[in-house]
Amino acid sequence: MFKQLITFGKTTRLDINAGKSFFLGVSDSLKQVILRDTGFNEGCFPFTYLGVPLIPQRLLASQYSLLLHKLESSVQSWMGKHLTFAGRLEIVRSILYDMV
């Protein structure tokens, strides 16, 4: 599986972040084998993605406020435009992609 992950990274030119390995629902013994064989480090919660803290539990609406504020300020210039739903969705996707 690790070889496939490396091949995927080379093919897509996406970097593997060895410090962000998270294990949910995996036994401790299997987790240790994976960490040993890959050389990865186990990550810890919470960490942020797109400005939103990620935790193993459900996020509260208030924890999305930073992301929503960034989206709102980026979309502000498009508010008066006559765009289809698909057009608005594409703008939001583009903005989110740029935040990564």
* Paired residues of 66 in beta bridges: none
Whether the CA torsion 11, 15, 16, 20 is positive or negative: it is negative
Q: Residue 80 above 90 pLDDT?
A: no
Q: Would you state the pLDDT for residue 100?
A: 60
Higher pLDDT, 25 or 97: 25
Q: Read off the amino acid at residue 50.
A: L
Residue pair 53/62 in contact by the 8 Å Cβ criterion: no
Encode pLDDT of 32-45 as tens digits: 998 888 888 888 77
Q: Residue 51 above 70 pLDDT?
A: no
For residue 38 the two structure tokens come to: 């890959």
Q: Read off the amino acid at residue 84.
A: T
* Paired residues of 48 in beta bridges: 53
Containing 47, the helix (H) or strand (E) segment is strand 47-49
